[in-house]
Structure 1
Amino acid sequence: MAGVEQIEVVVAHQERATLRVGDVFLKIDTDQTRTDIEVEAMALAPIPTPRVLWRKPPVLALAALPGRALGRLTEPSPASAAAWVAAGAAVRELHDAPLPPWPAPGRDEAASDLDGEGEWLVTNGVLPADVVTRNRRIAEPAFRPRPPVFAHGDLQVTHVFVDGDTVTGVIDWSEAGPGDALYDLATLTLGHPEHLNDVIAGYGTDVDLDAIRACWSARSLLAIRWLIEHGFDPAPEVALLKSQL
């Protein structure tokens, strides 16, 4: 890394920080269990992932992926429709892989958290009560039992990298495990509903669109307080919840 002129702070909060130094990403995590999962998940995933350069807890060094992120929540995606189709195909390949050996996160706990988060949003004036109540109803199908798949768990649009119409890799695997296929698809398209049909075309199977919308509402309701408390702008999630009316 000799000759590097600057260090880029990719993300930083009380639990985790990611720095870019030249062509190397340095991930610092207070919880080494998350790092253990990330390293193992990348080794098991059948799709491209960053190469692990070295690990010296609490730091994990990863090689940068070629290309650029599929998009960002607050901006129109610069990627082609074909790139979004390719992303859907990559997600399907992941979901068709054998389940990883560690346990799935509890969904009942997430469902109960939704009520508390909704109350906090109203009490603190973040959202009107009617918006929260409506989205709480929309979110209900997100918690219906579905067969688990090998899920990424945090498949944000910034975590999928493409070069032209080709997926070059997927990053940030610390939430990976047996999980809900539709939650992955919803996370990928949150903020970019115009590309949902492209993703489904690449995914190649019937998808419950109401369940996708339910996951949009559930993820947004659960995320907003955390984003605010960690210094992030929840505008995309707030806009989505309002649009569901």
Structure 2
Amino acid sequence: MSADVELGMKLLRAALGGSVTRNVASRVELAERIVFDAFDEAGGHYIVKVDSDWRRISDEVDAMRYVRTVVPAPEFVAADETSLAYRYVDGTPLTEVNDADAWRNAGETLAKLHALPADCPEEHRLNWGAHFLGGALEETTRIGSLLTETQRQRFVDYFTGGLAGLQLDVCVSLHGDCQAEHVIIDAAGGVAALLDFADFGCGDALVDLCALTAWHPHQLNAVLDGYQPSAQLLARVDRYRHAYWARRHLGVARWRAEQNLPYHDALNAALKFATPDPS
């Protein structure tokens, strides 16, 4: 089943009880997922997601309702088994903001999200190191022919050594795809909203911290200043951040290649971080 725009329009019309128009250009347009802007008769602005996988819709709805108790998230409007609609949040994606205070505020907001009780089995925490390493090694296989054999072995050796000894003291609630584009900054430099909770879950806080700063490693100190990490987390940041950045970029490169999107920048970034002393 492919995503169908009309399913989302039907959902929003039913929720609002009136006519709805949409932008011709979509924000995201993949075979299985479409995200677009829609407007009601009074000029109200909405974001509509249509997904062929009902589990992604269900997971995001549940996560949005949960996290809004402690962090700014879009106002939920309606959802069914195919679509999700929420009110548009005005602001600027953090990717376009260089101000350190905005990044500091993003770190503070992320800490509040991570403080939410996490429904995480104890074995998930105990097995995190093996789980994360296994996922990193799986990426080197899934990305297939995009890597030369020399590059693939470079990643295998780097992840095997770079993630050695990884352990968690605590599992936290994770955004799961906390790229800077999913953090909306208001005119005062505060966080107006966190977006896109389809991958909400639990695990190492470093997953979100490194996703947030993957393309902006120079902002990590500002993020940590706002986050105020524990001594244990700060030690993991110091020791493992490059491996987490490398895995993040490698996964993005693989996903973009699967969607027939340009992937070379992400792959080159992964290769850059997968060195003993990345500059």
Closer/same/farther in 2, CA of residues 2 and 176 from structure 1, 3 Å limit: same
Match of 1:224 in 2: 253
- Among 36, 39, 54, the alignment partner of 2:78 is 54
Name the Cα RMSD after superposition: 2.9
- Give SS of 1:9's match: coil
Using the aligned pairs only, state the percent identity. Answer: 25
The answer for unaligned runs of 5 or more in structure 2 is 1-17, 40-44
Match of 1:185 in 2: 209
**Are 2:103 and 1:81 aligned?**
no
1:102, CA displacement in angstroms?
A: 9.3
1:94-119 C-alpha deviation (Å, 9 max, x unpaired): 11121248997995565334334324
Structure number with the bigger relative contact order (C-alpha 8 A, sep ≥ 6) is 1
Closer/same/farther in 2, CA of residues 60 and 153 from structure 1, 3 Å limit: same
CA contact (8 A) 1:52 1:62 kept: yes
CA contact (8 A) 1:54 1:61 kept: yes
- Give SS of 2:47's match: strand
CA contact (8 A) 1:153 1:179 kept: no
Question: Matched residue pairs, number?
Answer: 240
- Structure number, greater radius of gyration: 2
Closer/same/farther in 2, CA of residues 92 and 6 from structure 1, 3 Å limit: same
Distance 2:163 2:251 in 1: 13
Closer/same/farther in 2, CA of residues 13 and 109 from structure 1, 3 Å limit: farther
Closer/same/farther in 2, CA of residues 101 and 217 from structure 1, 3 Å limit: closer
**Are 2:57 and 1:35 aligned?**
yes
Distance 1:142 1:49 in 2: 35
* TM-score, reference length from structure 1: 0.84
* TM-score, reference length from structure 2: 0.75
- Among 149, 152, 155, the alignment partner of 2:172 is 149
- Give SS of 2:79's match: strand
Closer/same/farther in 2, CA of residues 127 and 84 from structure 1, 3 Å limit: farther
Q: Which moved more, 1:110-119 or 1:133-142?
A: 133-142
Match of 1:172 in 2: 196
The answer for unaligned runs of 5 or more in structure 1 is 72-76
Closer/same/farther in 2, CA of residues 143 and 237 from structure 1, 3 Å limit: farther
Richer in helix (by share): 2
CA contact (8 A) 2:173 2:201 kept: yes
1:124-163 C-alpha deviation (Å, 9 max, x unpaired): 4468526534543465259644421111011011100001
Match of 2:241 in 1: 212
CA contact (8 A) 1:92 1:203 kept: yes
